Amino acid sequence: MEYIAHSENSFHETHLLSKHLKETAELSASFASKKEYESIFYLAGLLHDLGKYHAAFQEYIRNGGKRGSVPHASWGAGYARSKRMLEASFAIDGHHKGIPDNSIWKVDTEPFKRNEIEEFGKVALRFLEENPINQRELPQKLSDEIAKTPSRREVFIRYLFSALTDSDWLSTEKHFDKGISEVRSDISLPIEEMISKLEAEFSGKPKEGTINQLRNEARCQALQKASQPCGFYSLSLPTGMGKTLTSIAWALRHAKSNNLKRIIIVLPFINIIDQTAQILKEIFGDEWVLEHHSSFNEDDTFGRDDDGYYSLLEQRKKLACENWNYPIILTTTVQFFESLFSNRPSKSRKVHNIAESAVIFDEVQTLPKDIILPTLQMLKDVQTIMKTSFLFCTATQPAFEKRQSFDGIENIQPLINNSAEMYKETRRVKYELLNELEPIDLSDLLKATSDKGTSALVIFNTKKPALEFFNLARNLDHWENKYHLSTGMCPDHRKIIIKNIREDLTAKRKILVSSTQLIEAGVDFDFPVVLRALAPLEAVIQAAGRCNRENKLGPSGGRVYLFKLQDSAMPDKTYSACANHTEEFVRADIEKLHEPDTFNKYYAQVVNLYINPDQYNINEARKAFNFKTVNDCYRIIRDSTEGLYMYNYSDESRQLLHSLEYKEFLTKDDYRKMQVYTVSVYRHFIIKNSDMCKTMPQGFMVWYGNYDPQTGISIEPLEADKLVV
């Protein structure tokens, strides 16, 4: 009998099972970063579809039936377990449904181990007749470095699972759509060429002046440590010191010295990704840089020719988002970490390509503190198992180091030797306490802001006071223009407002901006005065980065005022506790905010005093090999919100909805187009205003209520012109 893995393709060819298994095994082995892993990676690929040798599956694949009615993954998993290949058994058992928790894996595989499954012996014999395995080919026992440390062993399973899943899908794709398979790129990182292009970029930059000299010195120091082995590194530099390009310069040379395959840049916010991607594409060329985040390629026409077809490059990039086989990747913190902690095949598929990479984390202070221990433990395990280097970049370096009662990273090597001197040399602002931090109301805050006599940025902790402050100021003539920024505005609206603010600042118009904390990372404003509501220290320092950013006012020429608002709410209890700790810091000695190690000390204190750094017991779940539990518990963004499409934002938002509302199914590109007109809200807002929300047949929700052209989503009555379509 001829055993097949998949039904006929468009050329009426079936996919022979032995061919599929060999293809998967060879691909999987090629993804192993160390020689000692190759045999188990190969055998996981060879065994994963052993169950398809069962007569019932061959009947199903040839004559049809309900999808999933003849499970096969547990057969290969059971065989692997019977041969004591437990890591391969976990990976095989999950290659369709996701890696299960330990108890479910035992239920799936125990009957095979005990030889209680009828025909198991016959099925295994058929497999071995077509795919002979020499006993000497069975993988050796894992090294003690992995086997005796449960969390490392767990990461090894994730790595193996990722390699198996990607190999299986690539082999299947090659059978069903050879054209797509051939489009996929296998582009290697052109290190020498990229180093040359980056050097050319640096050579064209001005070298005169203190700031430029310090930038060059910082880059030289970082490059001197690029040849060191894979490990953990930090790049702590003041705002405006060229962290992005310095980190890329280090990563390229580090990759060259350690034979790494790609550079992955992980950023917390999409707007930062847009800026960074544009810079890198201009230096290296569009063909080397892949963006992977929720709004990437939001315009479905981008990359298409006159006949509506995607260019070869865009096709390659779309495919590369599935498994990250690309030289330079820019992605979000959410995408990176929730893939690493996922048990799902589609998300985990890319994990094996994190191996043999230089990974740059920018703005690492934004990582949630209540999951910081499992986050760092995962990175430690990945670094050990997968030959990966991690670089933490920020102006406010958190205390990630191992210390008493905090199992952090043992050795994080700084790339800059004299960062304290650089912070001192680049001091641009003076911090002051407004009203000696005695609580003030919004009217007094507005008067104090007006008295500064210049453009001002005022940052609040929540949307409510930001909106109320803007409404107090919107009819005053004190400023030429007044702006509001918050997540109550859709991304397209925020993008336009940010552009207008930048143009006004360049033209030296006197403006006022009332904003939530969304402005504190990735929005490179340069205000002479910034007023910041009391907040966690990282937010205060990030806010100061929007003041005198270009040093046009001279050393310490910018003014950053901290204020405490009457009856002000905080986003959550942890935020409030950290803000109170900041108050203790600044009341004692506000000048300490200029010292680079202040934030490190603050971070260690708040984690020790107020936060459980493994709030959801994820490390214990990992050690117990409970993969689904870990998947369900690990979240970068935990607040449950839902997206509301803003119908009344603009003519374009209305037209787009009308073009989509009768489509039976929406594509990923449809959702990307919609995202720029979507606002995330809490569930209780939808319940409270249900008369203005409508759930469409495709499952998304539309806000038919008012949208204020200055402040965003609004429950104010609709203007008459919006009632007519």
The pLDDT tens digits of the residues spanning 649-670 come to: 999 999 999 999 888 888 878 8
- Strand order of the sheet with strand 641-646? 678-682, 641-646, 701-703, 693-695
> Alpha carbon of 597 to those of 237, 244, 408, 421, 600: distances in Å?
12, 21, 17, 12, 5
pLDDT score of 717:
79
Q: DSSP of 153-217, one letter per residue?
A: HHHHHHHHHHHHHHHHHHHHHHHH-HHHHHHS------HHHHHHHHHHHHHTS---SHHHHHHHH
Nearest to 603 by CA among 440, 362, 406, 456: 406
The predicted model gives 368-394 an average pLDDT of 96
Distance of CA 636 to the CA centre of its chain: 9
Q: Using the 8-state DSSP alphabet, how is residue 559 labeled? A: E
| Alpha-carbon gap, residue 22 to 257, rounded angstroms | 33
Q: Which CATH superfamily is domain 191-418 in?
A: P-loop containing nucleotide triphosphate hydrolases (3.40.50.300)
Q: What is the pLDDT of residue 436?
A: 94
List the one residue out of 634, 639, 637, 638 whose CA is nearest residue 371: 634
- What CATH number does the domain located at 427-595 have? 3.40.50.300
Identical topology for domains 191-418 and 427-595: yes
643: which 2 tokens? 């997206």
Q: Which residue, chain included where needed, has tokens 């040839």?
A: 62
Q: Can you tell me the distance from the alpha carbon of 577 to that of 586, in angstroms, rounded to the nearest whole number?
A: 15
- Report pLDDT for 137: 64
Q: What is the pLDDT of residues 138-187, one digit of tens each?
A: 666 788 888 899 999 999 999 999 999 999 999 999 999 988 988 887 78
Q: Answer with the residue of higher pLDDT: 592 or 159.
A: 159
Q: Does 639 have pLDDT greater than 90?
A: no
Domain boundaries, the chain: 4-178, 191-418, 427-595, 641-722
Choose the weakest-confidence range: 217-226, 278-287, 567-576: 567-576
Mean pLDDT over 361-367 rounds to: 89
Task: Check: CB of residue 551 under 8 Å from CB of residue 583.
Answer: no
What is residue 471's predicted lDDT score, i.e. its pLDDT?
A: 96
Q: Is the pLDDT of residue 135 over 80?
A: no
User: Which residue did the predictor score with more confidence, 697 or 639?
Assistant: 697
The neighbour count for residue 595, using CB atoms within 10 Å, is 14
Mean per-residue pLDDT, 327-351 = 95
The per-residue pLDDT for range 291-312, each reduced to its tens digit, is 997 654 433 433 444 444 568 8
Average pLDDT over residues 339-363: 96
Q: Which of 28, 45, 36 is nearest to 141 (CA)?
A: 36
- Residue 588 confidence (pLDDT) above 70: yes
Which residue is listed with tokens 């990479």? 357
Low-confidence winner among 109-113, 245-249, 319-323, 419-423 (lowest mean pLDDT): 419-423
Mean of all residue pLDDT scores within the chain: 91
The three-state (H, E, C) secondary structure of 655-710, written as one string: HHHHHHCCCCCCCHHHHHHHHCCEEEEEHHHHHHCHHHEEECCCCCEEECCEEECC
- Strands (DSSP E) contained in 33-131 are none
Query: What's the whole-number mean pLDDT along residues 392-400?
Result: 88
Rounded to 5 degrees, what angle do the CA atoms 391, 365, 253 make?
Answer: 15
pTM of the model: 0.90
pLDDT of 163:
98
**pLDDT(134) > 70:** yes
Tens-place pLDDT, residues 51-104: 999 999 999 999 888 877 778 999 999 999 998 999 999 999 999 999 999 999
Burial class (CB in 10 A: 0-12, 13-18, 19+), 175: buried
Query: Taking each helix axis from N to C terminus, what angle separates 463-473 and 442-451, rounded to the nearest 10 degrees?
Result: 60
Determine the distance from the C-alpha atom of residue 218 to the mean position of all C-alpha atoms in its chain, rounded to a whole number: 27
Counting residues of the chain whose pLDDT is more than 70, the rounded percentage is 95
Angle among Cα 25, 50, 66 to the nearest 5 degrees reads 115
Q: Render pLDDT for 693-724 as a digit per residue (tens, 0 to 9).
A: 999 999 899 999 999 999 999 988 776 554 44
